[in-house]
Amino acid sequence: MSHVESPIRQKWVTNTDTYNQISRDVIKPIESKPNLRWLGATAFSGLVMTIGFALIGWTIWEGIGTWGLNRTVGWAFDITNFVFWVGIGHAGTLISAVLLLFRQKWRNSINRASEAMTIFAVLCAGLFPLLHMGRPWLGLWFLPLPNTRGSLWVNFNSPLLWDVFAISTYLTVSLVFWYLGMVPDFATIRDRLKRLGRNIASYIYGLLAFGWEGSSRNWSRYEIVSLILAGLATPLVLSVHSIVSMDFATSVIPGWHTTIFPPYFVAGAIFSGFGMVQTLMVVTRKVYKLENYITLDHMESIAKIVIATGSLVGLAYMTEFFVAWYSGSIWERYTFVNRAFGPMAWAYWIMFSCNVITPQLFWFRAIRRNMVLTFIISIFVNVGMWFERFVIIVTSLYRDFLPSSWTNYIPTYVEIGIFTGTLGLFMFCYFLFSKYLPVVNMFEVKTLLTHPKKPDGLEGAREPESVNA
């Protein structure tokens, strides 16, 4: 009897018809020895990361005077980088949790890498609240724990404390969700390596798999916990960046004191996060030959979200100008006019062109399915979103209420080096992840095969257990 399928049914896996083939393709980088290109890229990113950490140490040793801050601009690269990296992490939570709850099948191939991206981006962001303390070795004082310091407790009205709570909660939930999703894949890797006679590696992945057997009880508990974590993680998409935006909105600085910031920051965070997902997926699918699992349809779906969120960001930009005019406040009006036409207008127009104009190219299907153009546009999105945070912070501060204190801001090599170091940290972690952990969620991709053939070869006896949902 022949199978009849709907002609409109979306195929998210191409040129693949067995579970065994999916396992082979995904696990191949783990089974093979590191090549020179991977070693070179990892070593370079590690060097950049090391330089960044050295400059962080120099900052702690010498003080904030090593940065380009002045009497007017008290926040600049540091808080810009913090908000930028928190935003990058939003796409992972959205793809993992929100799209899981809405049963979107196209997430299955990209959620693993997106979740890893979230973890690494939050690690980069978490460096900056520690630097903002001035004395990072006293970081334990941020925790509201019983102590011997008398009446010295954390200040719950402090935006810095809000950041600590937001980052720690976000990192914890994202890390648990990410690790939980890899447990069935660790079991598959364990079994394959054991059959290849690589007992030490098999033992390590077996420890990571927590004794996973692929039984009905395992899968039942796995799915329940996954849905619970997805329900917990979904509010984080809205709450974390809303809290970050309130770092600014609770102040009285023109350009910051506005109620549009929470939804504006959330839309911008999802926009920048999906821009980074595009950047990583274009490279990952090509380098690891995963075009059959991260298909052009996946990339097109991501591009559509970039269009939607980019349009929301553009609407927020225009709303800011309208509210500044409608408010009747001369200070608010001047702030936004100065952003667009003042001495630092170049930063504003880089932001506007990258975030509003460039993503509109994705309206054309040919561009959405062209990986070279997609990669270039995604880089523009990331550049534009960094400049958005820079514009919000610096151009609201460098000309304050007292014209005699007006001054320009010029970053020092220390600030630039620290930001570059966080890029190195992010890429270093991603390179290690893509080599030693499954970059594609194997068991979820296997559920996308409509009529899989019987598994063959190395995993013939055990493979069906890894998809026995």
113-131: per-residue pLDDT in tens? 999 999 999 999 989 888 8
* 347-362 per-position pLDDT tens digit: 999 999 999 999 999 9
Model confidence at 199, pLDDT cuts 50, 70, 90, reads confident
Average pLDDT over residues 163-192: 89
Contact 189, 443 (CB under 8 A): no
Average pLDDT over residues 10-14: 79
Model confidence at 308, pLDDT cuts 50, 70, 90, reads very high
List Cα–Cα distances, 115 to 224, 411, 444, 450, in angstroms: 19, 32, 14, 26
* Residue 215 clears pLDDT 60, i.e. is over it: yes
pLDDT of residue 356: 94
pLDDT of residue 35: 87
| Any domain includes 414 | yes
Instruction: Decide: pTM greater than 0.85.
Output: yes
* 51-87 per-position pLDDT tens digit: 999 999 999 999 888 999 888 898 888 899 999 999 8
CA angle 384, 120, 134 (to 5 degrees): 85
* Residue 229 clears pLDDT 50, i.e. is over it: yes
Model confidence at 455, pLDDT cuts 50, 70, 90, reads low
| Any domain includes 366 | yes
- As a whole number of angstroms, the distance between CA 395 and CA 19 comes to 54
| Any domain includes 2 | no
pLDDT of residue 301: 92
Model confidence at 464, pLDDT cuts 50, 70, 90, reads very low
| Any domain includes 210 | yes
Long-range contacts of 329-335 (CB under 8 A, 24+ apart): 329/254, 331/254, 331/401, 332/254, 332/255, 334/254, 334/399, 335/254, 335/255, 335/395, 335/396, 335/399
- As a whole number of angstroms, the distance between CA 92 and CA 430 comes to 14
pLDDT of residue 304: 94
* 444-453 per-position pLDDT tens digit: 888 887 666 6
- Contact residues for 233 (Cβ-Cβ < 8 A; gap 6+): 93, 96, 97, 173, 174, 177
| Any domain includes 1 | no
pLDDT of residue 468: 40
Mean predicted lDDT score pLDDT of the chain: 87
pLDDT of residue 430: 94
pLDDT of residue 448: 83
Phi and psi of 382, rounded to 5°? Answer: -65, -40
Percent of the chain whose pLDDT exceeds 90? 44
* Residue 384 clears pLDDT 90, i.e. is over it: yes
* Residue 10 clears pLDDT 80, i.e. is over it: no
* 393-411 per-position pLDDT tens digit: 999 999 888 888 888 899 9
Phi and psi of 453, rounded to 5°? Answer: -75, 165
pLDDT of residue 55: 95
Contact 391, 355 (CB under 8 A): no
- As a whole number of angstroms, the distance between CA 64 and CA 75 comes to 11
Nearest to 170 by CA among 238, 101, 78: 238
| Any domain includes 363 | yes
pLDDT of residue 92: 82
pLDDT of residue 47: 97
Model confidence at 7, pLDDT cuts 50, 70, 90, reads low
| Any domain includes 149 | no
CA angle 163, 405, 343 (to 5 degrees): 80
What domain range includes position 430? 19-141+154-467
* Residue 300 clears pLDDT 90, i.e. is over it: yes
Q: Tell me how far the alpha carbon of residue 286 is from its chain's centroid.
A: 20
* Bridge partners of residue 453, in order along the sequence: 18
Percent of the chain whose pLDDT exceeds 70? 93
> Total structural domains in the chain?
1
| Any domain includes 12 | no
pLDDT of residue 299: 92
pLDDT of residue 146: 78
Average pLDDT over residues 180-200: 89
* Residue 155 clears pLDDT 60, i.e. is over it: yes
